[in-house]
Amino acid sequence: MQNNFMDIEMLEDRLRYWQAQLRLQDWQIEMKFDRGFNLAPNVADISLLEESRVARIRMMEANDFDPSSIAPYDMEQTMVHELLHIHFFPLTRTLGKSIPEEQAIEAISWALIALDRKADEIENHYMKRLYPEACYLLEPYKGVVVNESAADD
């Protein structure tokens, strides 16, 4: 695994995608970067108001990540991890933080990211086979999320 850093615009595009995938469209979720020392020892956190369906995710800026860390900093996976806390919160709100919950959310978030990226690989493979003459057009946009609602205008 390797680090996966994104700017705020790309992260917000992925936030909208994952809100839909995780059925969280009825939540107002704000994403912002913060300094690592404000989040230590974590790379991200989420604050939420369940009754208002409002949440704020704070993520560590890429330049604060320690490259000697044993675990990679994949911003998209970290965001999915924080989003999953929204679903788990009603089950664990009275218990507070728990190691088993964190381990479950971590495993689920990595699995979702792996499946999503594998699906992209498969789609790109078949697109290249179906439209080999257009492959050069796809390369500059590799990893870029297109706002589909804007494309319909």
In a domain, 106, yes or no: yes
In a domain, 23, yes or no: yes
In a domain, 15, yes or no: yes
Cis-peptide, bond into residue 41, ω within 30° of zero: yes
Domain count, the chain: 1
Each residue of 60-112: pLDDT tens digit? 998 899 888 888 889 999 999 999 999 998 887 767 678 888 999 999 999 99
In a domain, 12, yes or no: yes
Each residue of 95-109: pLDDT tens digit? 767 888 899 999 999
pTM of the full predicted structure?
0.77
In a domain, 19, yes or no: yes
In a domain, 3, yes or no: no
DSSP secondary structure string for all residues of 20-36? HHTT-TTSEEEEEEE-H
In a domain, 122, yes or no: yes
Domain that includes residue 86, residue range: 8-151
Gap between the terminal Cα atoms of the chain: 38
In a domain, 2, yes or no: no
